[in-house]
Amino acid sequence: MIARDLVLRSGEVTLRGQVLLPASSRTRPLVVLCHGIPSGVPVEGDPGYDALARRFVECGAGACYFNFRGTGLSGGDFSLAGWVNDLGAVLDAAGTGEGPFEGCHPGRLALVGFSGGGAVSIICAARRGGLQGVATLSSPADFSRLVTRGGVGAFIAHARHIGIIRDPGFPPSEEAYYQEMVTYNPISEVGGLAPTPLLVVHGDQDDLVPAEEAYRLYNAAAEPKDLCIVKKGGHKLRLNPEAMDKAVSWTLERLGI
């Protein structure tokens, strides 16, 4: 297996991640993994995104995982607009097939996104087109149900507490920050995703993002689309074997593997 560090700029922010590829000279399709908004609560036994990336590599695809701004080793502060820009920067770099993405096929890219990362995946993919597939897991249809105008101050305070908002002067306006959150909504963009295929995976016992959100996304999307409701599935579907089997097999099929 080939492992390369990913370091790139998204505006004024430096993003960091990893690109993994099978150890051969053959050009491979690429899966970009998009994590969700951190909760600040560690999950016992969580193998992280490296384990999922390696699973795709074992099946013959390349895989990339990275920290969105405000998280992990990347710089900056959490914002939905920033995350959309970050994913766009990663896809732009992947589309060159150069640097850390050498050996990746620029025309065979798919996204697998979790929770907020799934929402960003839909928005970004709908706006740019040309992807082979987008799989979302536990993703909200919009953020207005998760963060209300009255609750945005508490959300910002929590984000500071867990370290995804680091700059004491960010955001400059609580109102503008809220308006951004309710503007960047996948349900308003998902209808434009086609002809890129969409997979919506959700647990029927998700206590953070209710399963109703999955039906809203699915119903708003155009064909081709698939829906998988995981029985007894909670929010952390990356730890659910049934959900991951579905997401991995579906994505590999869309990439022709």
Report the CATH number at residue 191.
Answer: 3.40.50.1820
In this predicted structure, the answer to whether residue 40 has a pLDDT above a threshold of 80 is no
Q: What is the mean pLDDT of residues 221-240?
A: 96
Q: What pLDDT is stored for residue 119 in this prediction?
A: 96
Spatial neighbors of 128 by CB under 8 A, at least 6 apart, are 88, 91
Classify residue 147: in a domain, yes or no: no
Which residue pairs from 147-155 have beta carbons closer than 8 angstroms and sit at least 24 positions apart in sequence? 147/178, 147/181, 147/182, 149/178, 152/177, 152/178, 152/181
Classify residue 214: in a domain, yes or no: yes
- pLDDT confidence of 42, banded at 50, 70, 90? low
Q: Cα(first)–Cα(last) distance of the chain, in Å?
A: 18
In whole angstroms, give the CA distance from residue 64 to residue 198: 19
Considering only 81-85, 141-145, 170-174, which range has the smallest mean pLDDT?
141-145
Q: What is the mean pLDDT of residues 119-129?
A: 96
Classify residue 172: in a domain, yes or no: no
Classify residue 213: in a domain, yes or no: yes
Q: What pLDDT is stored for residue 25 in this prediction?
A: 75
Alpha helix stretches (DSSP H) within 79-136: 80-94, 116-128
Q: What pLDDT is stored for residue 181 in this prediction?
A: 87
**Amino acid sitting at position 79:** S
In this predicted structure, the answer to whether residue 130 has a pLDDT above a threshold of 70 is yes
Residue 181 vs residue 246, higher pLDDT: 246
- pLDDT confidence of 237, banded at 50, 70, 90? very high
The parent domain of residue 117 ranges over: 2-142+187-254
The number of distinct structural domains making up the chain is 1
Classify residue 168: in a domain, yes or no: no
Classify residue 156: in a domain, yes or no: no
